Structure 1
């Protein structure tokens, strides 16, 4: 009957299991931040668990919203319970996942690029194609450092809901 179809995986349970495995098999000072998401196409929603990672940003209309953090880093503590959040994507929404390689590079004065500059760039360029938005961000971060190449790895994932 209805409602008995395959249930989406629990991101919270999966991240809890990952935490147990990492905690059991690595040195106590070893940990990781982790963002895990599943997109449920039928419901047009992201189901996610954020374990201490920089929270992704959602660009909706003129606003830049911050997604939830559902728990601490993985690998540090045993038996941590993680939460799970759901985000219904609307047409035109832009989801931005990124690492600290975007926000932490410093200029010659030791000032970090920071989340506010990233938010301003997203507001300014929201109408562009996702590839162009990504290019603009990388260009601005590189320009900010005043160096030809970045010192840290930079990961940026941009997802736009069509419509």
Structure 2
């Protein structure tokens, strides 16, 4: 074992870190700055105006109370209960005394000061968390605005598109592009990882596809270009699986490339077949070869494209939904629309996982020839 590497990984000493913090931090200035941030974030416009007109002594007592109330109502119900119990414990830790003036409560000043410090830290952490949550929600709204309509209209086709993220924002790609009057593109992808970083890479990949599809007549060349750009612009060891398919309103032919994604499933009247995997995922290697695949769908045939959040959906026992269940479900399907089929699949998945939280994004694109 390398001693130098071991020393580098060793946690710093608390005493050394504390001395460094005191040397580097201007406590008075930092306190004023943080306190100002709390006022700015938690107080309403009306209360800010009232606070500005108060005398200095009243401000000292009113502001902590206002901040505590604002913070209290931003907590979840369970955490509100915990905070209430903590405050109740603080009050009951005081000493009651009875004299000629009646019963009085004496609180230890050190206890009050310590409690104030902890509440101040809690308020700062809550503010940062809520700000991050707000930014994620704004990111989610932008991400949703990039999503295609759920049932795009194409002559001769019945299409249903669906995606949901495990977190506030997701790393699954779903897009529908009209290339010309008769040709349309469908993209389903999955960027490695979850959360904000995956969502940003997904949005970049989506914009790259939209920019290039009009200029590349060959799907093979399109795949090569997408891989080169994703490899160049993404962090090391980050990759994305992708199926990009093109359909035509005048035929039942589906042309597509598969870059390391789960292969589509074809559900015909007499059988259900799973296609084979083809090329590597985008970004794994600098130069990759992508082969165009061609599938002919006849009337009432389905093509199901999905992300791993479907087959790898997990229940409380740790079991996966799996491809076998999905194929059995498709084998026993009745005559239905693409939306009905999609909703049946989702209902089965949700029943399977129960109350267990989703651990991955789930995306589903169903194409039916009509």
TM-score when normalising by structure 2: 0.40
Secondary structure at 1:34 match in 2: strand
| Equivalences, count | 155
Q: Which has the higher helix share?
A: 2
Are 1:139 and 2:351 matched, yes or no? Answer: no
Are 1:33 and 2:33 matched, yes or no? Answer: no
Whether the 8 Å contact between 1:49 and 1:69 is mirrored in structure 2 is no
Higher relative contact order (CA 8 A, sep 6+): 1
Secondary structure at 1:13 match in 2: helix
Are 1:113 and 2:321 matched, yes or no? Answer: yes
Once the two structures are superposed, the pairs formed by residues 73-152 of structure 1 within 5 Å of their partners are 73-147=281-355, 150-152=358-360
Whether the 8 Å contact between 1:70 and 1:84 is mirrored in structure 2 is no
Q: Root-mean-square deviation (CA), in Å?
A: 1.7
Are 1:54 and 2:273 matched, yes or no? Answer: no
Secondary structure at 1:156 match in 2: strand
Distance 1:47 1:68 in 2: 15
CA-CA distance at 1:66 after TM superposition: 1.4
Structure 1 alignment gaps of length 5 or more: 1-7
Q: Give the equivalent residue in structure 1 for 2:279.
A: 71
CA-CA distance at 1:43 after TM superposition: 4.1
Range 151-160 or range 53-62, more displaced: 151-160
CA-CA distance at 1:103 after TM superposition: 0.5
Secondary structure at 1:155 match in 2: strand
Whether the 8 Å contact between 1:142 and 1:150 is mirrored in structure 2 is no
Whichever of the two has the greater Rg, that structure is 2
CA-CA distance at 1:78 after TM superposition: 1.0
Q: Measured at CA, do residues 68 and 126 of structure 1 come closer, stay the same or move farther in structure 2, by a change above 3 Å? A: farther
Distance 2:359 2:286 in 1: 33
Distance 1:67 1:109 in 2: 30
Secondary structure at 2:367 match in 1: strand
CA-CA distance at 1:28 after TM superposition: 2.1
Q: Measured at CA, do residues 54 and 21 of structure 1 come closer, stay the same or move farther in structure 2, by a change above 3 Å? A: same
Structure 2 alignment gaps of length 5 or more: 1-215
Whether the 8 Å contact between 2:224 and 2:290 is mirrored in structure 1 is yes
CA-CA distance at 1:20 after TM superposition: 0.5
Whether the 8 Å contact between 2:314 and 2:358 is mirrored in structure 1 is no
Distance 2:250 2:320 in 1: 40
CA-CA distance at 1:148 after TM superposition: 7.0
